[in-house]
Chains A and B, each alone.
Chain A
Amino acid sequence: MKPYNLPDARGHFGPYGGLFVAETLMQPLEDLLRAYESLRADAAFQEEFAEDLRLYVGRPSPLYPAKRLTQLWGGARVYLKREDLNHTGAHKINNTIGQALVARHMGKKRVIAETGAGQHGVATATVAARFGMQCVVYMGAEDIKRQAINVYRMKLLGAEVVPVTSGSKTLKDALNEAMRDWVTNVETTFYVIGTVAGPHPYPMMVRDFQTVIGREVRYQIMEFEGRLPDALVACVGGGSNAMGLFYPFLGDESVALYGVEAAGEGIASGHHAATLCAGRPGVLHGNRTYLLESDDGQIIETHSISAGLDYPGVGPEHAWLKDSKRATYAAITDREALEAFHELTRIEGIMPALESSHAIAYAKKLARELGRDKVMVVNLSGRGDKDIHTVANLEGILL
């Protein structure tokens, strides 16, 4: 296998990625790239980042051998990477800490972000409070209604939450709006993108900040098994938790990589967010990647029980890993994810986010296929507290 060294200098992962933005943003993105490349090679910056991950986020997060789940499923030995135990309850904070540090080094005092379910918004508002920065979060008006608690959480942290009423009033529209803010205020403002998508260098930078997940798994699994795992499983919306887990293993051919998308009500129903499984290549939000689009190139509305997977695009590196067949992508329906949510909660006493529940549901199928002598690591990317209302509503319970 050739050594993996993507993206290239202009942000391409094979035909994917790149820099598809209006001229006004070209120079600011060039400035960001230069700043990030110099910090990436700077030991003091890396030390600063590592220390924040340790003292503020609470890393390393445990690798937990899920013995009861392993026994119940009757297949491969299952380990859960506990990103749900991070400060703010998900992997998102790894990235926002990293980007806030870059922002500080670039002298920016205002940060903006887009958010769907509110997790990335909360993670951005949290680090903005921590670093004393002004914070504005763009959120679809529909999502604001569905995620009242996260909206209030962001406000408590001192962020301004701006409702977005254009388009489908969800995550993709919030991203459009955040991009507009950035174009207008680019001299003072740093745009904290929440996933491995967007124009170069974001997919690379966000991936780099999230690779702490996979690097920890590499040494943690050695302590239990004395060898690398046979399979890694993670959910994919934009795909940052999956890239963070996969990246340190890309060169290890014996480690199979599985990304799990949201099949919503089933791919055949058309109500889903399974971009890699059912989409095709196109250009959106600054990069070329797989998209869910109409026959004439309009981006279509997606559906998933999990707001964090409800996005019509996907990180360009996943598009490349799919085409190059290094990773395999599958999709799990709302119903399967919900069953997995309950199963993990009852069997291990761990309540997963609905996003992560997609990975758990797929892992259950895979565990049996792999068989008992195999080792599998599932990324538990976030905790389920935020989803209790959604789950209760679906079961007709009024809280």
Chain B
Amino acid sequence: MARIETTFARLKQQGRKALIPYITAGDPLPRITVPLLHALVKAGADIVELGVPFSDPMADGPVIQRATERALVHGVSLRDVLTMVREFRTTDRDTPIVLMGYLNPVEVMGYERFATEAARAGVDGVLLVDLPPEEAGEVTPVLRRHGLDQVFLLAPTSPVERIRRIAGVASGFIYYVSLRGVTGAAHLDIDEVRGRLQAIRGETRLPLGVGFGINDPDTAARMAQLADAVIVGSALVKRMEERVNHPDTIIQDIPAFLASLRAAMDAGTSRSVAGGQR
């Protein structure tokens, strides 16, 4: 069984929800990335999303764009990211890794070569933000042949026909973008998310992850009650940016923050949801 599927099956048995942190590979220094991945797993990450730096990250907010720029200063390429995954895999054989990025670097490497090398490095899933299923006709079969799950986004603006289309091609899990806007934006409407997730569950049996706008333990806990996975990106990357002049504190502080989300999620339903909208 594929690692992502195994992970969700195990969590379901335990009655827990997946916590998926996102970091940009190479931010702020290439040497930080692999130790940080291990530390995040230790702090409670079930799956890790690793961002592949791209010069024009159109769908990301300023926080992740700056992370990308910090990585690109060190020339971190898609090939370097695959090397990091290979290194991570030498001591962690269980935690799934999903690469998240934009199509162009993959296209330049070539779909076949990318899929071969990614699978060999120990990548489990791929999310190409600017590749909707309509344009994925050539990519999807190549990824599938190499046993890589293809994660797709769904948005508040996706009507039921698009939900069906995406449910038909996605594998691993579906990433529901919980708000209009780019990564790191504000104003999360929990009731809207609840309604949308119900609509999506009517069309697919894949696990549903929720991301965009989850920046504190309280929100993570509330989202964990609605979804199968909680994805946290900008909130982590922002904390990394604050420590950019002291990169070695990142290894302690970022996993500590993730652990606070994990604790809140695991406290789950017993926890009061007072405090209202933030």
Q: Hey, which bits of chain A sit against chain B, CB under 8 A? A: 10, 18-28, 166-167, 172-173, 176, 179-180, 183-187, 282-286, 291, 293, 295-300
Of A18, A187, A285, A296, which is within 8 A of B78 by CB? A296
Contact A20 B131 (CB under 8 A): yes
Which of B58, B61, B109 is the most central at the interface, judged by chain A CB atoms within 10 Å of its CB? B58
Residues in B lying within 8 Å of A, measured CB to CB? 53-59, 61-62, 65-66, 69, 72, 77-79, 102-109, 129-132, 134-135, 152-159, 162, 166, 177, 180-182, 185
Q: Are A18 and B180 in contact (CB under 8 A)?
A: no
Apart from A23-B152, A296-B77, A299-B55: 12 A-B pairs, beta carbons within 8 A? A20-B132, A23-B153, A23-B158, A24-B180, A24-B181, A167-B56, A184-B181, A282-B104, A283-B104, A297-B105, A297-B108, A298-B55
Q: Chain A residues with Cβ under 8 A from B152's Cβ?
A: 23
Q: How many A-B residue pairs have CB under 8 A?
A: 127
* A165–chain B nearest beta-carbon distance, Å: 9
A184 surroundings in chain B (CB, below 8 A): 180-182, 185
Query: A293 is contacted by which of B59, B65, B104 (Cβ under 8 Å)?
Result: B104
Q: With A20-B132, A27-B162 as given contacts, are A284 and B177 in contact (CB-CB < 8 Å)?
A: no
A346–chain B nearest beta-carbon distance, Å: 41
CA–CA, A18 and B54, complex, Å = 20
The 3 closest A-B pairs by CB, nearest first: A297-B108, A297-B105, A296-B77
For A180, give its contact among B79, B109, B182 (CB under 8 Å). Answer: B182
A285 touches B56 (CB 8 A): yes
Give 14 A-B contacts (CB < 8 Å), ordered by A residue. Answer: A20-B103, A22-B129, A24-B153, A26-B134, A26-B158, A183-B181, A184-B181, A186-B157, A282-B108, A293-B104, A295-B108, A296-B77, A296-B78, A297-B78
How far does the alpha carbon of A19 sit from the alpha carbon of B132 in the complex, in Å?
A: 8
User: Across the two chains, which residue of chain B brings its CB closest to A295?
Assistant: B108
Instruction: Decide: B132 and A26 in contact? CB cutoff 8 A.
Output: yes
- Bound-state Cα–Cα, A18 to B137, Å: 12
Are A26 and B157 in contact (CB-based, < 8 A)? yes
- Known A-B contacts A166-B62, A167-B55, A298-B54; the reply to A24 vs B108 at CB < 8 A is no
**Chain A residue contacts of B180, Cβ below 8 A:** 24, 183-187
**How far, in angstroms, from A21 to B152 measured CA to CA in the complex?**
12
Inside 8 A of B69's CB, which chain A residues have their CB?
A: 166-167
Q: Are B158 and A27 in contact (CB under 8 A)?
A: yes
Residues of A close to B105: CB separation below 8 A: 296-298
Check A179–B107 contact: CB distance below 8 A: no
Chain A residues within 8 Å of B157, by CB: 23-28, 186
A285 to B154, CA, bound (A): 20
CB–CB A176/B159 < 8 A: no
Instruction: Give min CB distance, B9 to chain A, whole Å.
Output: 26
Q: Tell me whether A296 and B103 are in contact in the complex, defined as CB-CB below 8 angstroms, given that A23-B154, A26-B162, A183-B181 are known contacts.
A: no
Question: With a CB–CB cut-off of 8 A, which chain B residues contact A24?
Answer: 59, 153, 155-157, 177, 180-181
Across-interface contacts of A172 in B (CB, < 8 A): 56
B58 touches A285 (CB 8 A): yes
| Contact partners of A167 in chain B: CB under 8 A | 55-56, 65, 69
| C-alpha gap A24/B61 in the complex (Å) | 14
**A179's closest neighbor in chain B, by CB?**
B58
For B102, the closest partner residue in chain A by CB is: A283
* Chain B, residue nearest A313 (CB): B56
Tell me the bound Cα distance from A184 to B159 in angstroms: 17
Q: Determine how close the nearest CB of chain A comes to the CB of B163; give it in whole angstroms.
A: 10
Residues of B within 8 Å of A23, CB to CB, are 132, 152-155, 157-158, 162, 166, 177
Distance of A20 Cα from B138 Cα, bound (Å): 14
Contact B58 A282 (CB under 8 A): no
Q: How far is the CA of A25 from the CA of B134 in the complex (A)?
A: 13
Give the residues in chain A near B108, CB-CB below 8 Å: 282, 293, 295-297
Chain A nearest CB from B89 CB (Å) reads: 22
**A173 proximity list for chain B (CB < 8 A):** 56
Q: CA A18 – CA B138 in complex, angstroms?
A: 14
Q: How far is the CB of B229 from chain A (nearest CB, A)?
A: 17
Which B residue's beta carbon lies closest to that of A185? B180
- Determine whether the beta carbon of A299 is less than 8 Å from that of B56: yes
**Cβ–Cβ contact A283 & B103, under 8 A:** yes
B234 to chain A, nearest CB (A): 13
